[in-house]
């Protein structure tokens, strides 16, 4: 089954990356987005993920674990992760304990998610030397791994001096749960797979994410940790409207946050990543049918079983609701499962038109994601009308291996 998660980088209604934000604007943003995320459960999302960024009001989750706790308390089914916790800026022991807390506060719906950060700039601004950013990240990841493996952590290096330190509460992961890792290089993909952790791509073109996925599958097999599609996430910027032309027109009229920040904030400060950001494959724009087709094809390129739907455009609150009601993935009946493998994939789309409500087909509902970061209330007129694309699919055969993954054997 291809799952659809929402990925969030969110801000108050403000035009400048470092402009002054009033307390009322902060409060309004948090209230509005919490309401939005709670409704994502009713709209059929599988899960939600948040970025961690610092020193910039263009993203209001410097501590995304707090957002997880707030939304989890108001929902029953949604799953959560972060993409990701910047471990070079964290105390790894404390982070492991927080993950344990979230495990119980969410009733087992939380999986840790880690990342080296948006280049070294944010870590450096917090006082971490540039040369220490990556080593601190890998060291913190080892502390996390050891905290999951046992109740006591012993870890000695340049950053930690832990000897039989108890971790309480300890993260308890059930079959199918793991740690999400933002992956943008072959080395990171292999490192992630060798630990049996989940990978999620960012920015890269389809050819690159396909190669990263292939390396991930191979490294996992070599390490005796065979993967399955639910362990591979494909993050894409998604924008949907009733037609291809309307989607393109609205997208071009919106303010793209990443474009506004180019070279000045977050990942855009890394020239290599900035070069990726205008890759056409990262933009999935069009009608529900067009977007669903493109997402499925891109998932097939690497055996991805999770779409992380990300938007970087700013517009009005009404379009936020429109976006969220249109973005979900859920199944009904035994014929609804879409299984994907990195080897031979035989996907037959029986239909790519909209089916009547309640039809027991697999539904991949992709969204009018014009607006995860609102700008002004008057940029959109009309009602928040739901747009869905329901695609019937046939189970994919030809799994890479017969070893059962966390959710059982692939067909």
**Residue ranges of domains in the chain, CATH in brackets:** 3-237+255-287 (3.20.20.30)
Confidence label for 77 from pLDDT (cuts 50, 70 and 90)? very high
Are β-strands 113-115 and 85-86 bridged in parallel, bridged antiparallel, or unpaired? parallel
d(CA 105, CA 99): 10
* Ranges assigned E (strand) in 88-219: 113-115, 152-156, 161-166, 180-182, 198-200
Radius of gyration of the chain (CA): 20
Residues in a beta bridge with 7: 49, 310
pLDDT of residue 14: 58
113 in helix, strand or coil? strand
**What are the b/e assignments for 4-26, b being 16+ CB within 10 Å?**
bbbbbbbbbbbeebeeebeeeee
Confidence label for 380 from pLDDT (cuts 50, 70 and 90)? very low
pLDDT of residue 263: 67
pLDDT above 70 (res 126): yes
Confidence label for 261 from pLDDT (cuts 50, 70 and 90)? low
pLDDT above 70 (res 394): no
d(CA 195, CA 217): 12
Residues in a beta bridge with 306: 3, 233
CA-closest candidate to residue 273, choices 91, 115, 94, 66: 115
324 exposed, middle or buried (CB, 10 Å; 0-12, 13-18, 19+)? buried
Tens of pLDDT along 210-239? 999 999 999 999 999 999 999 999 999 988
Return all residues near 275 (Cβ < 8 A) that are at least 6 apart: none
Q: Give the largest Cα separation in the chain, rounded.
A: 61
Count H helices and E strands in the chain, helices first: 12, 16
135 in helix, strand or coil? helix
CA-closest candidate to residue 82, choices 52, 58, 56, 107: 52
Most confident segment among 90-94, 321-325, 362-366, 370-374: 90-94
Instruction: Output phi, psi for 49, to 5 deg.
Output: -135, 150
């Amino acid at each position: 089954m291809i799952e659809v998660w929402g990925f969030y980088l969110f801000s108050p209604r403000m035009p400048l990356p470092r402009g002054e934000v009033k307390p009322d604007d902060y409060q309004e943003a948090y209230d509005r987005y919490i309401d939005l995320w709670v409704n994502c459960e009713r709209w059929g999302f599988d899960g939600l993920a948040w970025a961690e960024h610092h020193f910039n009001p263009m993203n209001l989750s410097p501590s995304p674990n707090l957002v997880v706790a707030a939304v989890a308390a108001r929902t029953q089914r949604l799953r959560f992760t972060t993409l990701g916790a910047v471990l070079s800026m964290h105390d790894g022991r404390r982070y492991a304990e927080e993950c344990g807390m979230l495990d119980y506060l969410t009733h087992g719906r939380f999986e840790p998610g880690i990342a080296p950060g948006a280049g070294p700039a944010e870590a450096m601004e917090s006082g971490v030397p540039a040369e220490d950013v990556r080593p601190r990240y890998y060291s913190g990841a080892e502390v996390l791994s050891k905290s999951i493996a046992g109740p006591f952590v012993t870890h000695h290096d340049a950053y930690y001096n832990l000897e039989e330190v108890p971790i309480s509460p300890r993260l308890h992961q059930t079959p199918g749960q793991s740690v999400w890792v933002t992956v943008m290089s072959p080395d990171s993909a292999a490192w992630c797979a060798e630990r049996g952790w989940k990978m999620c791509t960012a920015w890269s073109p389809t050819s690159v994410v396909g190669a990263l996925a292939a390396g991930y599958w191979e490294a996992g097999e070599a390490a005796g940790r065979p993967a399955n599609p639910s362990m591979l996430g494909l993050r894409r910027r998604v924008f949907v409207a009733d037609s291809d032309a309307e989607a393109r027109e609205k997208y071009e009229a919106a303010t793209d946050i990443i474009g506004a920040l180019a070279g000045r904030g977050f990942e855009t400060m890394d020239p290599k990543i900035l070069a990726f950001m205008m890759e056409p494959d990262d933009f999935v724009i069009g009608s529900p049918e067009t977007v669903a087709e493109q997402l499925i094809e891109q998932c097939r390129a690497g055996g991805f079983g999770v779409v992380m739907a990300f938007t970087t455009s700013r517009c009005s609150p009404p379009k936020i609701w429109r976006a969220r009601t249109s973005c979900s993935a859920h199944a009904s009946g035994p014929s609804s499962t879409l299984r994907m493998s990195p080897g031979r994939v035989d996907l037959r789309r029986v239909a790519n038109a909209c089916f009547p409500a309640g039809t027991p087909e697999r539904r991949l509902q992709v969204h009018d994601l014009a607006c995860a970061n609102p700008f002004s209330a008057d940029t959109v007129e009309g009602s928040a009308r739901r747009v869905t694309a329901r695609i019937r699919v046939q189970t994919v055969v030809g799994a890479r291996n017969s070893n059962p993954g966390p959710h059982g054997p692939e067909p």
